[in-house]
Structure 1
Amino acid sequence: MTEVDVETRRSTFSTMAFASVLLFIFSFYSCYAQVPLLVWTSDGYSLPHLTQPPSGHVVSDGHLGAYLKSALNTAPHNVLLFLQDKLSIDDFTVYGGVFGNKQDSAFYNIEAALQSSSNPLVLPSLVWSASDSVLELFQQELGIPAVHINPSALKEFQLNASQRSLLAVHLPYTTGTEAKEMLLKNDKVIGEVLGMFKSHGVPYTAVYTSLKPSIIFPETPVMAESSIGRSLLQAPPQASVKPPITFNNTEGQPCILLWAENLNVSHKLDQWVDLGPAAFSGAANLTGSTCNQTVSRLVLNYQNVFDFQTVQLIFSMRNSLFPVSARQWSVIEQVVIEYDNGKRAVFNGSGGIYSPAEYSFHCQSVSSIQSPLLVPTESAADWRLSFTDLQIQGFNVMGEDFSYASDCAGFFTPGIWMGLLTTLLMILILTYGLHMIMQVHTMDRFDDPKGPAISVPLNE
């Protein structure tokens, strides 16, 4: 090998190593780059009781869309979106005097607004890439374009209380010694905007977030290594998690939740069609769904599937008392496909689709083929169902999050059986070896080396 080849290989290796380092830094930055998001309303209005994320949980863009969509159900549709260039939750702790200094009432507008609002929403950790979609989410939900306002031209803006509005106010940010002064100015601008709406008697929903994080604290190498070592015990990170389908009762409270990775349907051995994307896109048609304390019925309506103009996928659940366990259980009795103006394909539950009434039901695979949990009747001879990573809850729903999941997987999984059989085989081999060793006996008679030698005469 020539020196040129060696030098070329060294250069290629250095380039690959540098690219690997850049990839690691980017992934590391994405994991710890988070921004806060605050939502509150004007006096006299309140947000719905949304379940706050647990401590340390990072909210994705999919969950953010579910939060904002639920908030607009009861909140005013005059939205004030304060978008700061950079912001982190650490700004609230480092510059605590900016938000909530009681000695200088001109600079605690944000905290005062949160305290006066009924049931504000505070998301400390939001994936910063999801903050770019906040403006787009509000435009889709309200159906109007955003009006971008410069803080310097705020006094010239005219309010129209009779029409819904979406106002985006962009706020600057700086680092170093001038960071606190800049935050004070931004807080003053926010106070002026809120005061303008209050003086005109216009109700509003205010959102305060940023486009990028301002402070990122890197982890130490030891913690990074320990995180890598525990990766097998953690769920794989997902960039976007679609929110579950939520059906509300007559009081506007969620009563049925459904989530699945895939809702595959096949007719007459045709190719599988996944009904999941259309259902989880945020525009699911749930016409015909009902729920009460005894029976819940979730109906997913589709059009133009398998040359049928209308197709309905129906989940029928019942809340029943099991005398043996002396407790209520939620049972999925049937999954029905209704098509072609009244024709029905019925799949009965095999008895394995159940969970305690307080829990949700989860199963990695719910299928009508190969160990079916859904048993097809004669009316469903031409249909096949296969649901992947299905989770459903039809009773005792609290908010828009599932309760503890009761999984369909039995205790003796194939992996456990393999481990038990392998252990049994090793025990048998060890037992046989010990038995053979115990059967070994020493000789009870030995020749005397000091005695006369044994001679055997030979006949000539």
Structure 2
Amino acid sequence: MDSTTGRARRFDFQHHGERSSYSDQVPLVLWSSEGYSIPLQSLPPAGHIVSATQLDSYLSSALSAAPQNTLLFLQDQLSMDDFTVFGGVFGNKQDSAFPHLESALQASPSPLVLPALSWGGCSAVLPLLQQHLGTPPLYLDPASLAQLSLNASVATLLVIRLPYSASSGLMSPRDALTGNDAVIGQVLDIMKAQDVPYTAIYTALKPSQVVQEASVDVRSVGRTLLQAPSSPYAPLQFVSEGKPCILLWAEKLSVSQQRGEQWTAQDLGPLTFGTTASVTLTNSSCNATHSRLVLNYQKIMDFQTLSLTFSMSRRFYKVSARDWFTLDHVELEFDTQKVTFNGSREIYAPAEYSYHCKSVTNYRYPLLVPFSSKDPAQWRLSFDDLQIQGFSVAGEDFAYANDCAGFFTPGIWMGLLTSLLMLLILTYGLHMITQLRTMDRFDDPKGPAISVPQNE
């Protein structure tokens, strides 16, 4: 398909954007280097939100014939309105904030543009690319890329984090987007100078403008007070066969090691969720009875490699006549050593539910206990606001949460005891009132005085 046809397709996409608001979704743009075509795919209808499953189908078709050297330009925040207001490709303005992106799309034979990718689906872009390419991501900047020698026959996944977001406080949105576009231009020039074909993807982690809508969701009815609060980032997903099968979210994933008399702690939360996530899910797996989520990190706490593994199993229990899942083991592996904790005694939920707990630790009100006496005691795990689901995942959101907090919380017990004490006081007062007795004779001041005869 020539460039004229490509411009026609982009013009249609502009009209799709005018008919529906995409301010609460993230756009995704995919194109290939000049001379390499991507299989034509039908664009989603106007107003349709592309899910993670549909995104997997688009990427599978596009990467089947596209160059295997894949560039992922990952921005902090991006919305369709940014292209509409500041772009020349999707709008009619001559002064565009995306000149390099425009040139790349015009030179590409068949670009793919998804105007509205679900917020949960955007977090699955990197795991899906890793799954299709069969290689871990490599985070680079333009200076590092210029020193890297690429091979056209070897699949690589290069992630370029764009430094600015559309909501940067020290610069206008146009200047921030122009700075990102300049980084895209530098990377594409380096790839062109090395004469290496590539497939490029430009997207973001979250929308730049989130529309807050008050809605009632049927799934939220129930123990909503015990469920994890809504977070600004989507939960971590492990995708198998194009569908999410494990979900994880935590406000804090703290790992501590005792060195001498001091404890050295590392919070893995920012590396697992959000804009600075750099975790990989290699060796993770899931099926109908067992799920295994492996979080792999590089250069943590003076270790070259560190991994955190959540092993879950699903079983049928005759007493309750239903399936339950348990968090059997939590393994901490660093370099060549391993520490294992058992969580099956306290961490469990019905197989259709997710599990949520405000605090999961192995040292303070422990829900995790050492698997054996050989496991060293100088390691501490602390998961704040943990929510995990390893089975019956339907979509990109957690199912109904089974909370670790008991029904009779300390506040409820205090209220019950106080009410009981007040009831006892009221009962005693009523009892005293019923015991009062009046005189059977009264002294009349207008009549003769009552005389009481006395025997001498």
- Among 259, 265, 272, the residue aligned to 2:265: 272
- Among 434, 438, 449, the residue aligned to 1:438: 434
Structure 1 residue 85 corresponds to structure 2 residue 78: no
TM-score by length of 1: 0.54
Q: How does 1:31-180 map to 2 (within 5 A)?
A: 44-45=40-41, 73-74=59-60, 76=62, 83-85=83-85, 121=116, 163-164=198-199
Which structure carries more helix by proportion? 1
Equivalent residue number for residue 303 of structure 2: 308
Partner letter of residue 415 of structure 1?
G
Q: How does 1:174-193 map to 2 (within 5 A)?
A: none
Distance 1:349 1:431 in 2: 47
Cα deviation, residue 144, structure 1: 7.3
Cα deviation, residue 354, structure 1: 0.9
Structure 1 residue 399 corresponds to structure 2 residue 407: no
Distance 1:118 1:34 in 2: 16
Are the equivalent residues in 2 in contact too, given 1:45–1:118 (CA < 8 A)? no
Q: What are the Cα deviations for residues 309-338 of structure 1, in whole angstroms up to 9, with x where unaligned? A: 322211110011111111111110111112
Q: Report the CA distance shift for 1:297/1:212 in structure 2 as closer, same or farther (over 3 A).
A: closer
Cα deviation, residue 234, structure 1: 13
- Among 250, 258, 262, the residue aligned to 1:260: 250
Partner letter of residue 256 of structure 1?
I
Partner letter of residue 245 of structure 1?
L
Distance 2:355 2:325 in 1: 8
Cα deviation, residue 362, structure 1: 1.0
Q: Report the CA distance shift for 1:164/1:35 in structure 2 as closer, same or farther (over 3 A).
A: same
Q: Report the CA distance shift for 1:452/1:369 in structure 2 as closer, same or farther (over 3 A).
A: same
Structure 1 residue 325 corresponds to structure 2 residue 320: yes
Equivalent residue number for residue 371 of structure 1: 365
Equivalent residue number for residue 105 of structure 2: none
Equivalent residue number for residue 177 of structure 1: none
Cα deviation, residue 300, structure 1: 1.3
Distance 2:251 2:182 in 1: 24
Are the equivalent residues in 2 in contact too, given 1:295–1:318 (CA < 8 A)? yes
Partner letter of residue 323 of structure 2?
Q
Distance 1:135 1:319 in 2: 47
Q: What are the Cα deviations for residues 171-220 of structure 1, in whole angstroms up to 9, with x where unaligned? A: xxxxxxxxxxxxxxxxxxxxxxxxxxxxxxxxxx999xx9889xx9xx9x
Equivalent residue number for residue 234 of structure 2: 243
Are the equivalent residues in 2 in contact too, given 1:84–1:211 (CA < 8 A)? no
Equivalent residue number for residue 224 of structure 1: none
Equivalent residue number for residue 283 of structure 2: 288
Partner letter of residue 350 of structure 2?
P
Q: Report the CA distance shift for 1:135/1:299 in structure 2 as closer, same or farther (over 3 A).
A: farther
Distance 2:442 2:225 in 1: 63
State the SS of the aligned residue for 1:84. helix
Q: Report the CA distance shift for 1:454/1:163 in structure 2 as closer, same or farther (over 3 A).
A: closer
State the SS of the aligned residue for 1:310. strand
Partner letter of residue 249 of structure 2?
W
Distance 2:288 2:389 in 1: 12
Q: Larger Cα Rg: Structure 1 or Structure 2?
A: 1
Distance 1:292 1:421 in 2: 47
Q: Report the CA distance shift for 1:142/1:265 in structure 2 as closer, same or farther (over 3 A).
A: same
Q: How does 1:350-429 map to 2 (within 5 A)?
A: 351-376=345-370, 377-378=372-373, 379-429=375-425
Q: How does 1:444-459 map to 2 (within 5 A)?
A: 444-453=440-449
Cα deviation, residue 242, structure 1: 2.3
Distance 1:264 1:39 in 2: 33
Partner letter of residue 345 of structure 1?
V
Cα deviation, residue 380, structure 1: 3.7
Unaligned segments of structure 2, at least 5 residues: 1-21, 31-37, 63-69, 74-78, 88-111, 120-165, 190-194, 215-223
| Greater mean deviation of Cα atoms: 380-389 or 306-315 | 306-315
Q: Report the CA distance shift for 1:310/1:422 in structure 2 as closer, same or farther (over 3 A).
A: same
Q: Report the CA distance shift for 1:243/1:123 in structure 2 as closer, same or farther (over 3 A).
A: closer
Are the equivalent residues in 2 in contact too, given 1:245–1:284 (CA < 8 A)? no
Partner letter of residue 232 of structure 2?
V
Cα deviation, residue 272, structure 1: 2.5
Q: Report the CA distance shift for 1:45/1:139 in structure 2 as closer, same or farther (over 3 A).
A: farther
Cα deviation, residue 389, structure 1: 0.6
Distance 2:184 2:203 in 1: 14
Are the equivalent residues in 1 in contact too, given 2:326–2:344 (CA < 8 A)? no
Partner letter of residue 447 of structure 1?
D
Partner letter of residue 255 of structure 1?
C
Q: What are the Cα deviations for residues 122-151 of structure 1, in whole angstroms up to 9, with x where unaligned? A: 779xxx959x6996999799997699xxxx
Cα deviation, residue 364, structure 1: 0.9
State the SS of the aligned residue for 1:412. coil
Distance 1:295 1:410 in 2: 27
Are the equivalent residues in 2 in contact too, given 1:85–1:212 (CA < 8 A)? no
Partner letter of residue 246 of structure 1?
Q
Distance 1:141 1:332 in 2: 44
Are the equivalent residues in 2 in contact too, given 1:258–1:393 (CA < 8 A)? yes
Structure 1 residue 337 corresponds to structure 2 residue 328: no
Distance 1:437 1:165 in 2: 87
Distance 2:436 2:39 in 1: 92
Cα deviation, residue 388, structure 1: 0.3
State the SS of the aligned residue for 1:270. strand
Q: What are the Cα deviations for residues 408-446 of structure 1, in whole angstroms up to 9, with x where unaligned? A: 111111111111111111111111111111111111222
Q: Report the CA distance shift for 1:123/1:300 in structure 2 as closer, same or farther (over 3 A).
A: closer
Q: What are the Cα deviations for residues 55-98 of structure 1, in whole angstroms up to 9, with x where unaligned? A: xxxxxxxxx9x8998797447489997812299xxxxxxxxxxx
